Copies of this chain bind each other. A is one copy, B any other.
């Protein structure tokens, strides 16, 4: 999505530790009309795939998941991040290591909201090593739900998580894939 690449170049900042700061439009302040464009594009990519539910994870996956959901006429379920270690038997859960925050949490989803009749599109804002996605796919597996694909706003291609998933035959669509990133330059995969 060329408009997203241009927006990253114009408004993003690279911080030490391979962090791309895009909190002016994606994950602190939200450029709602731009996110609707992203949601429309995801809906186009997954047209006629029989998706009946979107799964994302708090916090910053929620706006883009909500945007896509409204063009696909499906509900969103967002996994919660539990840092307390107490997991009830009413939830599916999976341990996730956070790249940005350097911590581990349990992603949890109430058993009420995922079942084996669901065909699910997983959406998130970032894909780096794929830890959050792997946690969400683990949860889908526990629920017996079917994974249709993963739609991502920004993939850090150089961290390899997306290509590992693709090599396993999982459909991954990222609206922008960054191939390399330094303080002074940022290149996208074409």
Contacts and interface: CB of A to CB of B under 8 A. Distances in A.
A8 interface: no
B32 A66 contact: yes
A59 interface: yes
Interface residues of A, number: 29
Contact of A30 (B23, B28, B77, B110): B77
A171 B59 CA distance: 28
What is the predominant secondary structure among interface residues of chain A facing chain B?
mixed
A150 interface: no
Interface string A1-35: 00000000000000000000001100011111101
A83 B36 CA distance: 31
A67 interface: yes
Interface stretch (A68-76, A122-130, A134-142): A68-76
B70 A24 contact: no
A112 interface: yes
Interface in A93-119: 109-110, 112-113
A92 interface: no
A112 to B, nearest CB: 7
Nearest to A32: B69
B113 A77 contact: no
Interface of A: 23-24, 28-33, 35-36, 58-59, 62-63, 66-67, 69-70, 73-78, 80, 109-110, 112-113
